[in-house]
Structure 1
Amino acid sequence: MVVVTLAALGAAYLAYHGHGKSEEQKKADLEGLHKWFLAAQARTEEFYRDGPRGPVAWVVNQGHVMPEDAIQGGEEHGKPVYIARAYCDGGVMVGKASPHTKKGAVIGYKHNEINVETYEILVGDMDQLIWVETSGRLNIDSLEHKPVEGGYEPDLTPIYIAQAHHHMGTHPGKASSVLDGAFIPHDGSEKKVKDYRVLCYA
C-alpha cells in the first residue's frame, strides 16, 4: 500500500504548479488535489480489501514499481508503458507510467508533459477490454463499445483513454469530445495524433 501524507503531496504539487497563482488559487487547487487523493485512496483500499468490482480499477501508485496487474497502454523503446492518471489544475489527466520515466508517471496538460510521483494506475483484466479505432473528436456513439473513463478536464468534460502511435512507439493519452484527436505526453510536451484507439469494455 502506498503511504503518502497530504502535506507532502501538496508541497510537491505546489512546487511545480504554484508559480504565478494567487494564495486563493493555490488554496482552491490544494483542496481539489486533496479531494482527488482521498477519493483515490478510498478506491484503492476498497480494491485491495474487497477485490475488483469490474474489469478495471484505478489504484494509487508511487514511483517506479508497477503493480502486477497494471494494464499496458503501449510500448516505448521496446518496453511496456502503463495507463496512469493524476490530478492537475482542477482536472484529472490521463498519461503513462513506467519504470523508465523520471518520477514514475507523466501526464499531459496545456501542451506540457508533467512528471508526477504519486498517481493512479489502471489495473484489471485486458481480456474484458478492447481497443477501438477512431479519429478526430471522440464520438462515443460511433465506438459501438462503452469507453473506459479516464478522468476529466477542469471544466468537468470527461476524458477517455487513448492510445496512439508516435515516433516508433505506442503511447497512452487522452481523448474527448472537444479534443481534435488524441493528446499523448511524449518527449517533454503533448503531441496531437489524429488517428488513435480508445480503450473500451469488450
Structure 2
Amino acid sequence: MISIYQLKPKFQSLLRPYVNRLYNANITANQVTVSACLGSIFVSFIVGLLSSYQWIFCVIPIWMLIRMALNAIDGMLAREFNQKTHLGAYLNEIGDVISDSALLLVFTQLDNVSNYLVILVILLSFLTEYTGVLGVMIGASRRYDGPMGKSDRAFVFGIISLGIGIYQLPLDWIDPLLWIVNFLLIYTVLNRIRKGLQETQK
C-alpha cells in the first residue's frame, strides 16, 4: 500500500547536511524529539487561539513540514551517531502521539466541523501507532504501513489546513473528508496487523 513514508530515504538525504551540523553543535536526538513535540503544542495553541481568522491555518502545513524534518533528523542522529537510547524510544512514540493530538484538536474550533469526527480521528490515530508498535512485541519490526500512517496524516491535514487558510476549502467539506480519513485509518490498522503477522511467518 502506497504511503508517503516510502519517500523517507530521499527526504533524509536532503536533510543529512543539517544533521551533521546539529551533531557538531552537540544537539542530541532526544533534544530534537522534545523540541518537535513542544513546537506542535505551541503551534496548536496559537492556531486554536486565533482560529476565528481562517488564514491562521496556513501555519499548520508549514509546521507539518518542519515537524516531518525534525522527526527524520532525530532518527538520523540516533542511528548514525550512536544516540539510540531507551528513553529516546519512549520520547519518540509518546511525542508523536501528543503532537498529533494537539494539532488535530485545533479542528474542533471550526464551525460546521463535527467534534466527534475529530475525536474519532485522534483515537484511531492512537490505535494506528499502537498497532505499529505491537509489531515489535510479536517479533516483527515496528510497522509503518499505510495508507494513513503518521506521514500520510501530516500531509493530508497539511493540505486541509492550507485549503482552509487560503479560503479555498469550504468548511462543509471537512466532515466528509474526516469520514474518509477515519475509514483509511481503520484500514491502516488492519493492514499493519496483517503485515506484522506476515513478517513473523517469514
**TM-score after normalising by structure 2:** 0.26
The structure with the largest alpha-carbon Rg is 2
Question: Which has the larger helix fraction?
Answer: 2
Question: Which has the larger strand fraction?
Answer: 1
**TM-score after normalising by structure 1:** 0.26
